[in-house]
Chain A
Amino acid sequence: MLASIVPIRRFHLGKWFLRVFVFLVYAIMLCPLVFVIWLSFFKDSILYFPPSGYTLSWYKNAWDNQSFVNGFIFSLQLAIVSALIGVSIGVVAALGLIRYRFRGAKYVNTLLLSPLLMPGIVAGIAIYLFYLRTENFLDRDIVGTLGGLVLAHICLTIPWTVRLVSASMHGLDPSIEEAARNLGANGRVAFWRITLPMLRPAIVAAALFSFIVSFENLEVSLSLVGPGSTTLPIAIMQYLEFNLDPTIAAVSSVQILLLGIIMLVTDRFVKLSQVV
């Protein structure tokens, strides 16, 4: 018998081709963000490649711009309030649907998830028209108010909350709560001390994800903002319709940074790839 055998190697050409392809596709998906961030540091005020130098002054420029700062703060407020309210009533609804099953729960589930299927622009317009009609009826402003926007954004946060929390609840091992009850905990104690804590990651993720969804939303907010109360994405968009320069790139980069960080935090709680 041969004492030493040469190990066999196979060269997989196809595998390398696939890797290059994957790299290119990722490049396509990510390059816009890379370029925006890169642009925000360009020295010249007019877009030109290659840049003559780099500077941080555009960020200061953006910071001094009232409309951007206001937009940022407004978006922040809107997102926080919408996320908090949406997650609160959304988690409760998910509990009601899955734990305390009732007749018609399936239809309610569809209703609560339905906003995800609507084109944002259509929903925004429909809500706008509805608000106008209600304004006449109630004799007070709704369009352009924070409250009006919050109500609309809650409809964005509820579906994601219900989805996330439902998925988590379905993934729970029922025998854990049963073990708690077997050891002497009554139904309510078992729920509050055992089951609910197990849902915590999903609830936190729902809150963070809802924040992101509300903050970056354009289409629904578009019809519902007013003078003095506009969101950051809308402010960016309106600027971009006329002008493309490092200032707007700086503002956009801030949004990218903020939402990117929150996304990373959310990923700690729930695997985002399963959600989306």
Chain B
Amino acid sequence: MSAVSRGDARQARLGACLAFPSSLVVFCIIMVPIVLMFRYSFNFHDPVHIMREGFTFENYVKFFSDSYYRGVFFDTLKVAATCTLLALLFGFPVAYFLAKTQSRHKSLLIILLVFPLMVGNVVRAAGWMVVLGNAGAVNALLVWLGVIAQPIKLLYTPLAVVIGTTAVVLPFMILTLQSVLEGIDFAVEEAAQNLGANMFTTFWRVVLPIAAPGVAAGTMLVFILCMNAYATPVLLGGSGITMMAPSLYGQIAKASNWTFGSSMALILVIATMLIALSANWLIHRRYVRTMAS
């Protein structure tokens, strides 16, 4: 071996050593448990001993054959899809505004966007409880205005969950879209206008197609977040709606049905991945010509 390649090999060994501790931790604490959980989902459920070693699909069958659990799954899907769509509709104009603005308040606006993400979903859900509760701000306002006589039930409904979850994921959507839009060379939009396209046509025919892959990535991220939501559905949905994450947690922690809970966990993760990836693939197929990367 020449001195150069020996040096390279030493470098590579050093690199691997440096990365080893972190890799070990993540492997043991994340990878192994997930695989273990995967394995548990194929075990038999035993009321006394919680679990009996074996290999069966009964947990998965139970999930898909029980209309209650199918309902939980589809409710989760509906809420996630609705929130993703709303986040896209509300978030895109804001992202566009932030990308184009020259204001010196821009960094303040960005901080205001990141701020809710930092304080935790529990506290944000608490805030919505204050707003949407029977004694909350919205009802108080409507009663005071004389629009209604009695408070309407807003909390502990699917609507509350949709509102709360959309508010939670909006900053993610806006930040992702904003960086995509900022990446587009402004001269391209000017060229379109110069060639005769008004603002709307420029947006529809030029900006949107170029931004599409980024939009797809942001949408995928937000969809995954919505599917996996825990704190918001529990606090704002209560018994009014049951979603996958709270449900599977209940199976493990409260019902001690590890095998079934594990299978639910796997179903959640795999279904989310499949849906997100196929939506992403569809958009890429349509707009793949846009960018090299």
Contact = CB atoms under 8 A, between A and B. Distances in A.
| A/B contact in complex, CB under 8 angstroms | yes
A63 interface: no
Given A22-B97, A28-B167, A263-B115, A49 B140 contact: yes
A90 B26 CA distance: 11
Contacts of A236: 122-123, 126
Given A89-B21, A96-B17, A111-B26, A263 B131 contact: no
A249 B126 contact: yes
Contacts of B90: 25, 28
Interface string B144-179: 000000000000000000001001001110110011
A26 interface: yes
Interface string B226-246: 011011001100000000010
Given A30-B112, A49-B137, A115-B30, A133 B36 contact: yes
A249 B130 contact: yes
A152 B130 contact: no
Contacts, number: 293
A222 B120 CA distance: 14
14 contacts: A33-B119, A36-B127, A49-B135, A96-B19, A108-B19, A112-B22, A119-B227, A119-B245, A121-B230, A122-B37, A122-B245, A154-B29, A236-B123, A237-B231
A79 B225 CA distance: 23
Nearest to A257: B119
A256 B117 CA distance: 11
B221 to A, nearest CB: 10
Contacts of A151: 25, 29
Interface stretch (B8-16, B67-75, B188-196): B8-16
Given A22-B93, A130-B36, A218 B119 contact: no
Interface string A68-90: 00000000000000000000011
The 5 residue pairs across chains A and B that have the minimum distance between CB atoms: A32-B127, A96-B18, A100-B15, A216-B120, A49-B140
Contacts of A103: 12
A276 B36 contact: no
Contacts of A129: 33, 36-37, 40, 252, 258, 262
A260 B118 CA distance: 7
B124 A32 contact: yes
Contact of A125 (B167, B175, B179, B265): B265
A58 to B, nearest CB: 14
Interface string B37-68: 10010000000000000000000000000000
Contacts of B171: 29, 276
Contact of B136 (A47, A255, A262, A263): A47
Interface of B: 11-23, 25-27, 29-34, 36-37, 40, 90-91, 93-94, 96-97, 109-131, 133, 135-137, 140-141, 164, 167, 170-172, 174-175, 178-179, 199, 224, 227-228, 230-231, 234-235, 245, 248-249, 252-253, 258, 261-262, 265, 268-269, 272
Interface stretch (A3-11, A13-21, A172-180, A198-206): A13-21
Contacts of A54: none
Contact of A240 (B27, B122, B265): B122
Interface string A256-275: 10011011100100011110
A194 interface: no
A263 B110 CA distance: 12
A236 to B, nearest CB: 5
A28 B170 CA distance: 9
Contacts of A212: 118
A154 B135 CA distance: 41
B118 A152 contact: no
Contacts of B125: 32, 240
A32 B131 contact: yes
A255 B111 contact: no
A272 B167 CA distance: 19
Given A25-B93, A256-B123, 9 more contacts: A28-B170, A30-B112, A32-B125, A101-B11, A122-B248, A127-B29, A236-B122, A271-B110, A273-B114
B122 A237 contact: yes
B71 to A, nearest CB: 19
A273 to B, nearest CB: 4
A219 B114 contact: no
Contact of A36 (B118, B123, B179, B262): B123
| Residue of A32, A100, A127, A212 with most partner-chain B CB within 10 A | A32
B161 to A, nearest CB: 14
